[in-house]
Structure 1
């Protein structure tokens, strides 16, 4: 049976996944010392946790962690993003027209936000100008939804924000069916642009309509009100081990550093 590896940090999400894994008779291990025994590398592993933990333990355990390419959002059709999105570097972004939404492309080196000017960005004495980032035209999101995707299909979805505030359980005018339908349209056209297991966030932009918010690796994404059983199916595909990883997954594998023990 699979072994669910969880972060030392307790969260509602990890507890929900652990509860469901137990129901399915999976084994579960919470990595309190961040130094898992080497014998685990021979197990059927399923990982859920933050990227720093993945980088710490991943190489030693032979994890194969799937994640979308950092520039994926910038390659989607214009009618699926409904705003100007660019994959660039922090240095190059300083010459763009502001205000501008700016976020790190694949990590959290600085706060993703709308910046009023180039001067408001962190300087090169703090972050390298070559840091990959995404920039986007600022828009107002009316509602936002998280979709866990497996082999091109939405297997579970949940609203998570209303007018920019977290709000997945309220009586706000969410339309989950429409969100799933739009996400399915995006996936039908994506082809090989997305990994086989991924999180796709979609929402409605005020005055424009349905659009893709962003993509994220499933093994580090919050569940909100998504079905934990379905999420485990996605995680099993997205966070197994190198020994069972499919050859076609190579382009989606997160590079894992060597960590001295």
Structure 2
């Protein structure tokens, strides 16, 4: 089957505002968009947007390479970039905490990422890897779409934990956001995939650092909020595109889904 040079965008069945925005952006550049059913389409040149659970069913058939940051990436950063102590641990270990801590799964949404007063307040479930960090207060949080070490677009998405989406372009904090991101990427950019979503935040004045990394995310499973969808799409396409086009530097960031050896 003949496909366009740009391939096509394959979407998980669940419709979201972001999938609609990315679909419209893809069509504007002449790409086909296909909402997947129970199996991957019999065509090549796919790029994917959707959740990891559905990706596990269709990634091998689509022959896509799904890029993602390493689970422990936050723990490898200097304190100057995090503004808090962060440790990789297990859910069983986290249940023994006697102090408040922010606990989250490193990738999946198997339980809510939140501040838990003690480990006993964590939800039930099987043992799994978790990130445990000191509790901090974010005055504002920003989502940045990064491609080859450069910000393609971005959005503020919260203020003091409440949804507040505004484009990065023209935002009063845009210069500070770009300065912090540029410094971080020049120092640690080679430890991230070439296409990644990076969340950073402005800490409240009671902390000893001003800007810090919130977390990295997978572009193929991220809400773009008020970021420009056309530029966000560039990052999404790289983050979940044909295995045949995978760059050597990104092979170590490929997700393995069961028997789908995406880095092969």
Tell me the TM-score normalized by structure 1: 0.90
Describe how 1:83-232 pairs up with structure 2 within 5 A: 83-123=84-124, 126-128=125-127, 131-169=128-166, 175-207=173-205, 208=207, 209-232=210-233
Distance 2:172 2:90 in 1: 35
Describe how 1:5-154 pairs up with structure 2 within 5 A: 5-31=10-36, 33-37=37-41, 39-40=42-43, 43-123=44-124, 126-128=125-127, 131-154=128-151
Distance 2:143 2:184 in 1: 14
CA RMSD of aligned residues (A): 1.7
Contact 2:8/2:31, CA 8 A, preserved across alignment: yes
Distance 1:54 1:4 in 2: 13
Contact 1:59/1:257, CA 8 A, preserved across alignment: no
Deviation at 1:60, TM superposition (A): 1.9
Tell me the TM-score normalized by structure 2: 0.89
Contact 1:143/1:174, CA 8 A, preserved across alignment: no
Distance 2:32 2:131 in 1: 38
Query: CA deviation digits over 1:201-222, x for unaligned, max 9?
Result: 0011112310000000111000
Task: Determine the structure 2 residue equivalent to 1:256.
Answer: 257
Runs of 5+ consecutive residues of structure 1 not aligned to the other structure: none
